Amino acid sequence: MSFVTSVVGSFPRPKFVVEAYDKYSKGELSREELEEYLDDAVKLTIKEEEVAGIDVITDGEQRRTSFVSFIGEKLEGFKHVYITELNPKAIEIMRQYKGPLTEWRAVVSGYIKGSKIALDEFEFAKRYTSKPIKVTLPSPYLVMWESWHSQISKPYYKEPEDMAKDYAKVLREEIIRLRDAGVAFVQLDEPMLGDLIEADENEPDRYRKVIELIYGQKYRGFKNELTLARDLLNETVKGISDIRIGMHMDRWPNPDSPKFGTGYERLLPEVLDIKIKQYVVEYAAPGSGDPSKFLEHFDNTKEIGLGVIEVRNPRIEKPEEVVQRAERALKHLDPKRVWLNPDCGFAPGLYRKFERKIAFEKLSVMSQAAQILRKRYG
């Protein structure tokens, strides 16, 4: 089928979930009671995605407080800390460089040991839908930057790369488990790679600058960072077949950035050496660039998960507007290799505020656009 619709991962949490987490954190709710609320949120999200007409769905990441730190609850070797424990000036640093991070962080504080990361989420979700399911997982490169601290982690992993390699082994085992359980699509989240578009050879982007100052990790230079991300991802997926694997790269350009309007072509050629099937990328938001400059380098094995819906703007698009965004990919790719999705998750963190009803309407418009495109292009 052409123009398959999907989501990047997260969907806004119902108000009752946010309230339940607050009560749980205060000791006013048991874990068992919290899980009942989360179960209901997953079932509700699945139904809303189905009603909106989405072809490949997720559970909306309803059980995750953020798209990275949840692994600290699943794997040995991590602990959760408030960001000012890493650096007393952390909040001030984030404001100065306009690089916001979630304030509760999963930090490596021991040797990483393998465990199931998202298999339980999938097994619950599949009970409530017959549609194909996508499962999202943080990539090794992202987790390395977000979780290695120069003091807390160094007694166990002298270098961040050592930690990343151990996490890659654990992640690889989980992808195989998910494949064997029947997952249709595993998406590896790699926002740090997308953020690299904003960096220069010897000057990091704003997010790495923030992490440098808070965590003590050092920027390696543009080419070295790009090569490291590629190699970690390839080691993770090496030899895994019979499952679609994609990679999502964020693109959050500030209007005052000199790279505003530059797209993923800046990561060529290394990014196309990553052994994945689909690139899930952002092209709806202003400043994201022209997809043609990236897609013209694709070979016939690659797919695009094209961002056609803005997730930082509450305005609900018109179907024809989404159609026009999608048509930009057809100069270089067959319609069967073009998937449609929002730019990013609607709520990658528990407290990110985005109206659930607006997210639903945006997904419905995207599905309507897919129907128009299928009639137009077959």
- Report d(CA 37, CA 41) in Å as an integer: 6
Alpha-helical regions (H) of 26-84: 31-52, 71-74
- Report d(CA 277, CA 322) in Å as an integer: 23
- Say if 158 falls within a structural domain: yes
Count Cβ atoms below 10 Å from residue 113 Cβ, excluding itself.
10
Predicted local distance difference test score (pLDDT) of residue 193: 96
Give the chain's domain count. Answer: 1
Q: What is the CA radius of gyration of the chain?
A: 20
- Say if 2 falls within a structural domain: no
Phi, psi of 230 (to 5 degrees): -60, -50
Q: Which residues contact 170 (CB under 8 A, 6 or more apart)?
A: 75, 112, 113, 114, 115, 117
Residue given tokens 């160094």 in the structure block: 154
Tens-place pLDDT, residues 321-345: 999 999 999 999 999 999 999 999 9
Nearest C-alpha neighbor of 326 from the set 317, 182, 93: 317
pLDDT band at 257 (very low <50, low <70, confident <90, very high): confident
The answer to whether 166 touches 112, Cβ cutoff 8 Å, is yes
- Report d(CA 297, CA 350) in Å as an integer: 37
The SS3 assignment for 359 reads helix
- Say if 81 falls within a structural domain: no
Amino acid symbol at 240: I
- Report d(CA 215, CA 6) in Å as an integer: 35
For range 124-137, the mean pLDDT: 98
Predicted local distance difference test score (pLDDT) of residue 67: 81
- Say if 33 falls within a structural domain: yes
Tens-place pLDDT, residues 219-247: 999 999 999 999 999 999 999 999 999 99
- Say if 4 falls within a structural domain: no
- Say if 359 falls within a structural domain: yes
Nearest C-alpha neighbor of 46 from the set 62, 64, 59: 59
- Report d(CA 375, CA 62) in Å as an integer: 34
The structure tokens listed for 133 are: 């399911």
In CATH, what number is assigned to the domain containing residue 27? 3.20.20.210
- Distance from the first to the final alpha carbon of the chain: 9
Q: What pTM, to 2 d.p., does this model score?
A: 0.96
Tens-place pLDDT, residues 281-313: 999 999 999 999 999 999 999 999 999 999 999
- Report d(CA 28, CA 40) in Å as an integer: 19
Amino acid symbol at 229: A
What percent of the chain stands above pLDDT 70? 100
Q: Which domain covers residue 46, as residue numbers?
A: 15-66+113-202+221-377
- Say if 91 falls within a structural domain: no
- Say if 163 falls within a structural domain: yes
The vertex-49 CA angle with 48 and 54, nearest 5°, equals 150
Nearest C-alpha neighbor of 318 from the set 364, 378, 376: 364
